[in-house]
């Protein structure tokens, strides 16, 4: 399956990130020197995606603006001779094609994906949750794209989580058909702790076929009274089969403060210009 389009739902309120997200979309909060959503789009590009479809609301247009030219800023940087900055700012506008569709009511992740139906059309596509960050060599959406090409099946990303955290995720049960690849038998959105022995949690990366939209338009509100993507996926898995791939790399949930702060430190430590200074400060604080 060739994946050219990705749907990135970004219409959520971001209450976990308040008060930082009061007037800035949570996806625009910086992790080190880029907004969260830029890392997600860069990961999509590494997987071969060319078109990004944001599912937005009225307060999120700044996300689209981030991936557009800012001619005024560019001319200021040009006049100041700040070539490197200029290149970086321009590069963001040239990464991908951007489309946006409004989610006029916040009815859940499944509903957000359904809003993109017309823009997706009839090709397989990816979905990425806009505040899930994945870092590491070869980690991320490209792992799923590879498996979906090999097997011509929808594929979703999972990671193992501790048993007492399964109630925060969609949980997948499956049969391991090759190392780290599972044929899905069951999926439940945020099961209560102790109700399933599986610890394979969905991590916000999906490669889907357009027949998911039929299921999304039919599913009833599920967990939390919302239209859940997981419920539509479970129906699609029963109908045509679906794979889960245990993803490598590190995942950070940018809506969780421990993860958010850790992601900043992780990226800071990877920057040779910051590493020594950051290490010294961390050592002093921890000591
Ligand atoms: C969504 C999905 C859930 C998945 C999670 C990953 O939940 O519904 O299945 O495990 O993303 O981040 P949310 O975090 O939006 O409640």
Backbone angles phi, psi at 55, to 5 degrees: -100, 110
From the CA of 201, how far away is ligand 1's center (Å)? 9
| Residue 73 pLDDT | 94
Which residue in 165, 164, 163, 183 sits closest to 173, CA to CA? 183
Residues in the chain with pLDDT < 70? none
What pLDDT score was predicted for residue 148? Answer: 96
Joined together, the tokens standing for residue 5 give 């389009």
Residue 207 CB neighbours (<10 A): 28
| pLDDT at site 56 | 95
Distance 204 CA to ligand 1 centre (A): 6
pLDDT of 59 reads: 86
Residue with tokens 């690849």: 181
Find the helix or strand (DSSP H, E) in which 237 lies.
helix 229-240
Instruction: Specify the pLDDT at position 115.
Output: 97
- Looking at residue 157, what is its pLDDT? 97
Considering the entire predicted model, what is its pTM?
0.95
Please give the distance, rounded to the nearest whole angstrom, from the Cα atom of residue 202 to the centre of ligand 1. 7
The position carrying tokens 């991590």 is 203
Q: How far is the CA of 199 from the centre of ligand 1 (A)?
A: 14
Whether the ω angle into residue 25 lies within 30 degrees of 0, i.e. cis, is no
pLDDT reported for residue 13: 83
What residues flank ligand 1, with Cβ below 6 Å?
Answer: 109, 129, 132, 169-170, 189, 201-204, 228-230
Predicted local confidence at residue 228, as pLDDT: 97
């Amino acid at each position: 399956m060739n994946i050219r389009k990705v749907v990135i739902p970004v219409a959520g309120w971001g209450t976990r990130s308040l008060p930082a997200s009061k007037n800035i979309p949570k996806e625009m909060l910086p992790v080190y020197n880029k907004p969260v959503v830029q890392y997600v789009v860069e990961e999509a590009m590494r997987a071969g995606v060319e078109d990004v479809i944001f599912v937005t609301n009225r307060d999120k247009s700044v996300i689209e603006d981030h991936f557009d030219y800012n001619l005024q800023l560019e001319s200021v940087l040009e006049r100041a001779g700040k070539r490197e900055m200029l290149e970086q700012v321009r590069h963001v506008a040239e990464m991908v094609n951007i489309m946006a569709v409004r989610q006029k009511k916040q009815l859940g992740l499944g509903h957000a994906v359904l809003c993109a139906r017309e823009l997706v059309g009839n090709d397989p596509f990816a979905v990425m949750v806009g505040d899930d960050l994945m870092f590491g060599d070869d980690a991320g959406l490209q792992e799923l794209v590879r498996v979906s090409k090999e097997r011509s099946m929808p594929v979703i990303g999972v990671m193992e989580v501790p048993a007492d955290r399964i109630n925060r995720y969609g949980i997948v049960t499956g049969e391991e058909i090759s190392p780290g690849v599972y044929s899905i038998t069951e999926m439940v959105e945020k099961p209560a702790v102790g109700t399933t022995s599986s610890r394979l949690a969905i991590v916000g990366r999906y490669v889907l076929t357009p027949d998911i939209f039929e299921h999304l338009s039919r599913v009833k509100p599920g967990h939390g009274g919302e239209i859940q993507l997981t419920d539509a996926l479970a129906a699609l898995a029963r109908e045509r089969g679906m794979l889960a791939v245990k993803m490598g790399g590190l995942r950070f949930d940018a809506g969780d403060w421990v993860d958010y702060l850790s992601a900043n430190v992780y990226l800071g430590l990877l920057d040779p210009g910051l590493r020594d200074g950051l290490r010294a400060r961390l050592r002093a604080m921890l000591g």
